[in-house]
Structures are given as C-alpha cells and as structure tokens.
Structure 1
Amino acid sequence: MRYFHIQILNGIRKEWRIGDSVKTEFNNFYRDILNGIENISKSNFQGKRLIKRAGETLDVEWMDNLDYESKNYENLFYKVQDLLIDYEGLSNELYKSHFQHLKLIREDTFEQTRLEINPLLPSRKKCIWLCTTDTLQNWWDTFKRHPKKRILELELSPNGKRHIADAEYIKTELYSLQEWKTLATDYWKGTKTSNPVLEVLYEGEFKIINEYEKWK
C-alpha cells in the first residue's frame, strides 16, 4: 500500500524533503485551532459586540414603528428585506467568530471518544493525515484553493498507529454534545456513510521517499 501526504506550503510550517525522517507530534491542525481562539480572545472577543449589534438590529421599537395601517406592502417588504439581509450578515459574522470554538468542542469530544473506544488508535491531535492511491485525487481537489501545495510519498514505520475513517463525520455545526458523541463513535469505529470520504490517520515515525508537484 502506498501512502501520501498533501503538504500545504505557507512559508511558516517546515517543509519536508526527500530523505527526511520525521515523527508525528502535536500537529499544526490542532495548534491552529488553539491559536485561532487565542487571537479571538486578544481582540476582546468580537462575538459579544456582534450579539449586542444583533439586539439593536431587532429592536422592538424599530419594529413597532413600521407602518402597517397604510397597507403599503411594498415599502414594508423592502424594510423587512433590509432587516433580513443585515441579520444574515450578522449571523455569518457570529458563526465565524465562534468557528474555532466549535472546532475545539468537536476535537475534544472526538479525542475523549477515541480514548473510550480504543486508546491505541492514532490521536487527531498528534497524527498526520494520509491518502492512498485511490483517494489522493479527491483530496488533492479538496485542497485546490491552496495555491502552494505538494504531494509527499511516505514510508511508514511498522510500529506506527493507523486508522481509516470517514471524514464525512467531521462537521462544524451547532450540534449537541450527544450528537457530537454519536458522530465521534461512528468515526472511530470506522463506520462509513452512504458517500464516504476516506482519510487515513497515522501516528508514529515515517520517512519521505518521494515528492510530486501534482498528481497524474
């Protein structure tokens, strides 16, 4: 079985080269989540400001001042439409401000579930994500918005930990803790959805044996 890793080149993370021997550690994926939350905290958590603005947008007094008696429905329609557009923008801003927190809740729930199901499985906090020959093109297309990336072919240690999972369970939505738990359980048990997007988690030592600028 051949294994590949798509490395995003952003000028910050270390670029691996052919011949490098590497051991997985606390990974950039989880570190980026923590850094994102830290950046939000430093900016005085704009979510509070957005919630206040949402309350002002939906102010009851503003709604009471709408002229319903004139039956000028066209004017009423445009006023309400403006309100909905403004509120949609607020919703998007609120979602973005809470996005990293949602990911942290998801990842912590998945990690706790992994420990309960099988602590010998690779951790999403410390693993590297791999593709096989069958799934490489799909993941390459998934990362097409990243202008600088390359494919590394790896030789894995026989002592490393591997797990094949369906990435369709990795959602970032406003789920309850029980819903997160259900998704995590299916993920770690290797259950596949009707349209699976398979990913390989690997934790351990590996060696870079080849690299490609693009896939065939």
Structure 2
Amino acid sequence: MKTNLELYHVNRKLPWGGDLFEVGKSYSIGDRYNPFFSRFYSSEPRHPMAQEGEDCQSLFEKLQKDIASGQVKIPNDIFTYAEVCVRHYRMLSRELLFDMVRVSMNPSLPSRMKSLFMTELDGIERWINVLGKDVPTQVVRCLTQGKIFKVDSNLIDAGFKEGLGYWQDSALKYWAGQSSDKPKYEYLVEGTVTVLQVI
C-alpha cells in the first residue's frame, strides 16, 4: 500500500451526492460514504429516466405513478423496472460482500464504500467511457496522501454476472492485490486529496 501519489479522478456531480472539485482545494476522503456507495445507503433504486429535481425519483414511486396513470405497458415496462431493481440490489450485495472480505483479510485497507476511486493517466478515457457523460463531469489531477491501494477492477467486473461463491473468490484476489490476465487498474484512496489541475 502506497502513501503518496499523483493520480487522476473522473469526478461526477450526481443527483444523490458528490460535487465538482476546485483547483487548489484539499479534500478529506474516507470519513463518510463516497457518492458511489451513498446511493445504496440513502435511497431506493432510481428509475433510469428520473431527472434531478423530479418529484418521483424512486423506482418504486415512479412505477406506482406510471401504473396509476396508465403509462406502463405490460409486460415490457415491468421487465425494465424489474431489471433496474435487480441490478441495484445485486450490485449492493456485491459491494457488501467485497467489504466483508476486506474486513476479514485486512481491515486497514481502504474501503470501497468510503474511498475515492482514482486512476493513472492512461486509465482516464476508460473510466469516462464506463461512467458515461450523462451528468456534469470533470477530470482532475490530484496529489494524494494517505492510504492508497492499487487494485484490478476486472476482478470486480468479472464477478457481477456470477454467484456469491465467484464474487467471494474474486474479492479474495482483489484484496490480496492480485491481477487478472488483462488488468484494468484503479486506486482506492483514503486520506487527503489536493486538486492540482482540472483537465
């Protein structure tokens, strides 16, 4: 585990949390849930078409509203709602399992629930493509200080379509710092991040 590195972060302003960063400002990371995990902690699954500020952002509220107004077409729309709901709770299950494995192996490693996800320069384009550009997005170059752990994100992605046993094996490799055949590295950072530049 490293302690000081210059890394990059693809930062997004999300409806459920997270603000854009300011150059020259330092941010404390690790004392609360990050925007990725806070969506699980603070809300139900969101409807994929819900807009920020819309009265009805919860998947279940929107489904009830759409059924009442006759806008839901059965069975096609029901499958869409079900898929979003299953993906939400499946991803939450995966994240909870990964954190349980982290705590059992080495609780001093930075948690995926509270870390800032960062990358090296050559990983920026990949993460922009993975995350999308549907909300305000910025790429920031930062000086990081604190707990910095390099992991292969393929080990997280690979387990998403499999069962819990596969996820657990992937989690053991992930927290041991192992790599897949074609690794896609990211860094989990807890500590202080100082923004040097918005790219």
The TM-score, its normalising length taken from structure 1, stands at 0.68
- Percent identity among equivalent residues? 20
Q: Could you tell me how far apart the structure 2 residues matched to 1:38 and 1:3 are?
A: 31
What amino acid maps onto 1:109 in structure 2?
L
What 5-or-longer segments of structure 1 have no aligned partner? 50-85
Match among 168, 178, 182 for residue 181 of structure 1: 168
Query: For structure 2, which runs of at least 5 residues remain unmatched after alignment?
Result: 47-57, 68-73
1:145 aligns with 2:133: yes
Given that 2:14 and 2:35 are in contact with CA atoms closer than 8 Å, whether structure 1 keeps it comes out as no
Kindly indicate whether residue 103 of structure 2 is the aligned counterpart of residue 125 of structure 1. Answer: no
What SS does the aligned partner of 1:170 have?
A: helix
Tell me, yes or no, if structure 1 residue 31 matches structure 2 residue 38: yes
**Aligned partners of 2:60 and 2:176: how far apart in 1?**
38
Q: Identify the match of residue 6 of structure 2 among 2, 5, 9.
A: 2
**2:170 partner amino acid:** L
2: CA distance, partners of 1:113 / 1:10: 28
Cα distance, 1:106–1:161 mapped onto 2, change above 3 Å: same
Deviation larger for 35-44 or 196-205: 35-44
Q: Secondary structure at the match of 1:135?
A: helix
SS in 1 for 2:11: strand
Q: Which residue of 2 aligns with 1:164?
A: 150
RMSD of equivalent CA atoms: 2.9
Moved more, 199-208 or 1-10: 1-10
> How many residues are paired up?
172
Please say if residues 33 and 103 of structure 1, whose CA atoms lie closer than 8 Å, have aligned partners that are also in contact: no
Query: Radius of gyration: which is bigger?
Result: 1
Q: Of Structure 1 and Structure 2, which has the larger fraction of its residues in strand?
A: 2
User: Deviation of residue 97 (structure 1)?
Assistant: 1.7
TM-score normalised per structure 2: 0.73
